[in-house]
Chains A and B, each alone.
Chain A
Amino acid sequence: MRIGSATVARERLNVYADNPGIEATYKDHFALLTEVAVDDLHIAPLDAEEIVHQILLASLLQKKRITNMTEWLTAALRAAAECHLTQHGQ
């Protein structure tokens, strides 16, 4: 799945909680968020994949506190990217 910008990606994100097709939903989110991480936040592809995977996992335990999954995931991704780029001197 290829998309052009982070804005489009954010609009495509849906709440996956309680979704019976959870793996398929995961794959959609994974692809979109990785796209944002690589294209917009300039993370190397393999690092981006792992960061996105961990963020999606982390969201599971915060499910009760998350009111807007789109906002939460994109904020988590941006914060992680900032931290990652700082660690790598970029």
Chain B
Amino acid sequence: MANKSPDSFRFRSVRSRAEEFAATARRLDAERAAGSAVVDEALRTTPQERWGTLAEHPAFLTSGVLGRIAEIVDRELNRQPKYAEAIAVLGASIADAIAPDAYPSVIVAQMRASAWKDYGKVLSYLARHDEALTIFDRAESYVDELTYGVLAYDRAVIDLNRAITVSEMGRHDTALALLAQCKPVFRHHGDRNLHILCGYYEGVALQRLERHREARETYLLLVAMEDSIEKRTLAAIHQTIGLCSIELRDFEAAEDSLTKAIGLHTELGQPLDAAKGEYARGRLLLRKGLARRAIEHLRPVRHRFLVHSLAEEAGLCGLEIVEGMLQIGMADEAERLARTIMAEFMAARLNGRAISALGYLTEAITAKKAQPRLVTQVREYVLSLRTAPEREFQPL
């Protein structure tokens, strides 16, 4: 059906098209209403290792079931990503098992593209980036199979996910090119949420390319649309504007943005995100040359991360303190803290490369050869391992 020749439908009457449209609309509504009950019951009563058999059951081969599965994937992605993966695999299997003529071909293409896109999104979240890109190719192939290019919006959604993935892989220029393609599609279709999300990821890519001024401009344009942005997103944007402003040494703007971010995070009941804002404020004090105040400010912030077992965040925060200590000649304290951070990383079984880099830093401090900028380098290296876990540490 997907490759149906244009000639086969050239002489359809408006009436027959209207009947097909109305029947499809009513069917999708009915399936949507039934989807939750079908899926929730089956997942509750079927062991996970047998979920694959659900795709063989006729009651599962509906748009409503796929819609419910998409909701569960979205909900569980941040809570239980491995569970989300299993659900997404089920969704992709169901989409493929639906007969090509079960719905109008454009609807079948949309369902398949969306289910495979969701699977790719989960893989991307699990940092299985190459696999995710292969899956996005597959999702896009369903859109491409149609005779007419009527699914520009669906394609843009896939491209946005692809952009986020390649950005995580460090291919920021490719990410920016993809975002430049899909952003206007969302704008024209009136989807402000995804339009704003494109802008946010443009800012992220620019920041990672250390193009802080452009990144900040991008974020500021988003803030101008404040009324359309969820508070949670707005808080994240203010925080990133603060971080860019620190890099640009625009300390007044940085303080202003971080105050807004911390206020919003606190209002939203997000204490750890507020703590990350305080951490950025500590870095601001350090960049302003106020090392003692920075150390005093960052100690309780680091403690807050440790209480919540966020060893990496606590370590990164601790490295800011180490840098401050080296700036004011507290080498012994800096060495002790660096060793403590290394022990915390080992206890939390964090990336061995991060532990090696911390070991190098500690030895350099002991040998009185460590400059504050070596601490910055180690901190940035540890941070970079989140997106490039195999990256080698190359000391100054």
B63 contacts A by Cβ under 8 Å: yes
* Supplied contacts A26-B18, A46-B10, A61-B107, 7 more A-B pairs, CB within 8 Å: A22-B21, A30-B14, A49-B17, A57-B21, A57-B106, A66-B190, A68-B190
Q: Which residue of A lies closest to B148 (CB)?
A: A51
Q: A61-B63, A61-B110, A75-B185 are in contact. Are A22 and B191 (CB under 8 A)?
A: no
Of A47, A66, A79, A80, most B-chain CB atoms within 10 Å: A79
B72 to chain A, nearest CB (A): 15
- Evaluate contact between A76 and B9: CB separation under 8 angstroms: no
- Evaluate contact between A76 and B6: CB separation under 8 angstroms: no
Interface residues of A in 28-50 (CB under 8 A from B): 30-31, 46-47, 49-50
Q: A30-B18, A58-B110, A61-B63 are in contact. Are A84 and B190 (CB under 8 A)?
A: no
Chain B positions 89 through 123: 1 when the CB is less than 8 Å from some CB of chain A, otherwise 0: 00000000000000010110011001000000000
B308 to chain A, nearest CB (A): 35
Count contacts on A: residues with CB < 8 A to the other chain: 34
- Evaluate contact between A50 and B10: CB separation under 8 angstroms: yes
Report Cα–Cα, A79/B9, bound state, in Å.
21
The A interface is mostly helix, strand or loop, or mixed, namely: helix
B22 contacts A by Cβ under 8 Å: yes
Report Cα–Cα, A5/B25, bound state, in Å.
28
Q: Which residues of B contact A50 (CB under 8 A)?
A: 6, 9-10, 147-148
- Evaluate contact between A58 and B19: CB separation under 8 angstroms: no
Report Cα–Cα, A72/B114, bound state, in Å.
18
B149 contacts A by Cβ under 8 Å: yes
Report Cα–Cα, A30/B106, bound state, in Å.
16
Chain B positions 148 through 159: 1 when the CB is less than 8 Å from some CB of chain A, otherwise 0: 111111100000
Residues of B within 8 A of A (CB): 6, 9-12, 14, 17-22, 24-26, 28, 63, 104, 106-107, 110-111, 114, 146-154, 185, 188-192
Q: A23-B21, A26-B22 are in contact. Are A58 and B107 (CB under 8 A)?
A: yes
Report Cα–Cα, A22/B29, bound state, in Å.
13
Q: A23-B19, A67-B190, A78-B188 are in contact. Are A60 and B25 (CB under 8 A)?
A: yes
- Evaluate contact between B6 and A57: CB separation under 8 angstroms: no
- Evaluate contact between B189 and A76: CB separation under 8 angstroms: yes
Report Cα–Cα, A71/B186, bound state, in Å.
10
Residues of A within 8 A of B (CB): 22-23, 26-27, 30-31, 46-47, 49-51, 53-58, 60-62, 65-68, 71-72, 75-76, 78-80, 83-84, 87
Question: A-B contact count, CB below 8 Å?
Answer: 111
Q: Which residue of A lies closest to B29 (CB)?
A: A18
Cβ contacts A to B, 28 pairs, < 8 Å: A22-B26, A26-B18, A46-B6, A46-B10, A47-B148, A50-B148, A51-B148, A53-B17, A53-B21, A54-B146, A58-B107, A58-B154, A60-B21, A60-B25, A60-B28, A61-B28, A61-B107, A61-B110, A61-B114, A65-B191, A66-B191, A71-B190, A72-B190, A76-B152, A79-B152, A79-B153, A80-B149, A80-B150
Q: A57-B106, A61-B111, A76-B189 are in contact. Are A83 and B19 (CB under 8 A)?
A: no
Report Cα–Cα, A83/B148, bound state, in Å.
8
Report Cα–Cα, A46/B8, bound state, in Å.
11
